[in-house]
């Protein structure tokens, strides 16, 4: 497994955009071009030189914000996402790697709630720890988790301010329950 930085000129960008369309819900999706336009770093996930997914990152001080992790549908549940996160964590040991995932709703036994619980468990297996902080946008509550350096809410709020200068329609506002 290999992570490679992707640019507009990368020969696989169109294949990664197909994975983006397939893997990310439309209400949460941004095109890779739009993400690159706002300074995000896109890294392709490769298995045997074949693009099988991507991650999208935003850097701010010691924060490495994981905006997206997507794996092609036929390659899911094969350890690819775990390997990508392991490599990302290893290569960025001096960072706070922050992710937001949809918060599970324990009182809701729906398939959607089950998927949210599985996603949280996935990140926990990959070394991410819940911070006790949450955000709410697009009618959804998200839980904030962090790997690497301990979470710092003041630095995260600085990141939120930085992010709001780049994109104005998807800005998390952290809170505790």
Mean pLDDT by 10 residues, the chain (177 residues): 95 96 89 95 96 98 97 95 96 96 71 84 97 89 96 96 82 86
Question: What CATH number did the domain enclosing 132 receive?
Answer: 3.40.630.30
CA-to-CA distance for 34 and 116, rounded, in angstroms? 26
pLDDT (0 to 100) of residue 105 = 76
Please give the residue range of the domain that contains residue 125: 2-176
**17 class by beta-carbon count within 10 Å (0-12 exposed, 13-18 middle, 19+ buried):** middle
pLDDT (0 to 100) of residue 86 = 96
How many structural domains are present in the chain?
A: 1
Integer distance in angstroms from the first to the last C-alpha of the chain? 38
pLDDT (0 to 100) of residue 100 = 95
pLDDT (0 to 100) of residue 109 = 54
pTM for the whole thing? Answer: 0.93
């Amino acid at each position: 497994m290999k992570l490679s930085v992707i640019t507009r000129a990368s020969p696989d960008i169109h294949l990664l955009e197909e994975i983006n369309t397939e893997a990310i819900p439309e209400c949460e999706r941004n095109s890779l071009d739009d993400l690159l336009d706002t300074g995000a770093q896109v890294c392709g996930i490769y298995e045997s030189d074949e693009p099988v997914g991507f991650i999208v990152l935003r850097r701010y001080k010691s924060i490495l914000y994981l905006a997206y992790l997507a794996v092609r549908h036929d390659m899911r549940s094969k350890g690819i996402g775990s390997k990508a996160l392991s490599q990302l964590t290893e290569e960025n040991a001096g960072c706070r790697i922050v992710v937001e995932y949809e918060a599970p709703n324990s009182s809701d036994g729906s398939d959607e709630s089950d998927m949210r619980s599985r996603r949280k468990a996935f990140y926990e297996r990959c070394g991410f720890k819940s911070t006790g902080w949450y955000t709410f946008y697009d009618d959804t509550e998200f839980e904030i988790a962090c790997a690497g350096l301990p979470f710092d809410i003041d630095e995260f709020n600085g990141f939120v301010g930085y992010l709001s200068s780049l994109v104005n329609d998807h800005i998390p506002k952290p809170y505790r329950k």
